[in-house]
Structure 1
C-alpha cells in the first residue's frame, strides 16, 4: 500500500517496526504536527494524537499532560536543541524514536529558506543510545536502514550501503 508513498522505504520499515512493538489498542502521542506518517498510523488502526507545532525545546506541556501509553518521535529529535529535556518530560512508558544518522561524507542538513527545517543533531547510534540511557530509558530493540537516492555521483553511491536511519523501541526504567 505504501510503495507509492514518498518516502516509501522509510515509511514501510518504520511501520513494520512500530507494528512489532506497539499494539493498535495502545494510544500514541506522536511528537510533531500531523504528517503523512501519522496519517498512515491512523489508517492502520492506531489512535494517534499529535503535538500542535509548539517549540518542544521551550514548551513540553502537551507531552507532560498527555495520557498516551506510547510516544513516537519520527525524525523530530534532530531538529531540537535539547532532546534531553523532551525525553525527561515523557510520562508514557514506551517510546519509538527514529533519527537520521550522521553521514561521514555529508554535512548536517540545513535549509537555506526554512529556519525550522534544519538538523541541529545528526546522531551516531551510540549518541542516541546514551541520551536514552541518561534520560531513564532502556532500549529493547533497534534497527537501521539505508536511504538510496536515484542520482549519480559519489554521495548517491555511498547512500546505497551506508545506513541513514536509526530506529529504537525503548521502555522507561522503573522510577
Structure 2
C-alpha cells in the first residue's frame, strides 16, 4: 500500500505511529482536504473525515461541528499563521501532529508557483512542545526521523544525519 506511495518513508513512519495509538473504532478528523495520506488511513481501516478547505486561521467552526475521537494534523501546522488558536479550539481528546522541522542549513520552504504552498512556521521540537503545553495538551509520545535525498552536495549529506520530521501524539488535559 504505502510502500508505493511517495513520500513512502514519511507515510510509513506516520502510519506506524498512528497504529500504535489509535484503534480502527475511533473516528478521525484530518485537518486539510483529502490527500494521499488520508486515503492511506482509510485503506488501513480508519474512519476519516477531512476539513473542506476552509482557512483554519480564520474559521475554526469545524471543531464545534465535528465531534471526532481524534484530530490529525499531518504537515499542516507549518502552513498556518495562528496554530495557537486552532490548538485551543480542538475538542477531541487525542491529537496527532507531524511537522517538518526547521533546518539550520536550509531556508523555510516557499513555493515559487503556489502562493498557498509555503511554510510560515518551521518549528524546532521544543517550540511545538511548548505550543502544545500552552494550549492544554500533554505529549504522550513523539518520534523524529531523517529525510535523505538522492542528490549530491553538503545539504543532501546533512539530511542523512539531521532529523527533518517530528510527530507527536498528545492528549487534552482535563480541566
What residue number does 1:163 align with?
Answer: 163
Q: Shift in Å at residue 3 of structure 1? A: 1.7
Alignment partners' CA distance in 2, 1:103 and 1:37: 24
What residue number does 1:99 align with?
Answer: 99
What residue number does 1:55 align with?
Answer: 55
What residue number does 1:7 align with?
Answer: 7
After superposition, residues 18-37 of structure 1 pair within 5 angstroms as 18-37=18-37
CA RMSD of aligned residues (A): 0.6
Alignment partners' CA distance in 2, 1:31 and 1:19: 18
Q: Find the residue that maps to 2:2 and give its secondary structure.
A: coil
Q: Which runs of 5+ in 1 are unaligned?
A: none
Q: Which runs of 5+ in 2 are unaligned?
A: none
Q: How many residues align?
A: 175
Alignment partners' CA distance in 2, 1:104 and 1:169: 25
User: What TM-score do you get using the length of structure 1 for normalisation?
Assistant: 0.99
Q: Shift in Å at residue 35 of structure 1? A: 0.2
Q: Shift in Å at residue 4 of structure 1? A: 1.7
Alignment partners' CA distance in 2, 1:49 and 1:172: 20
Q: Find the residue that maps to 2:84 and give its secondary structure.
A: helix
Alignment partners' CA distance in 1, 2:141 and 2:3: 25
Alignment partners' CA distance in 1, 2:27 and 2:49: 8
Q: More displaced, 54-63 or 134-143?
A: 54-63
Deviating 4+ runs (over 3 angstroms): none
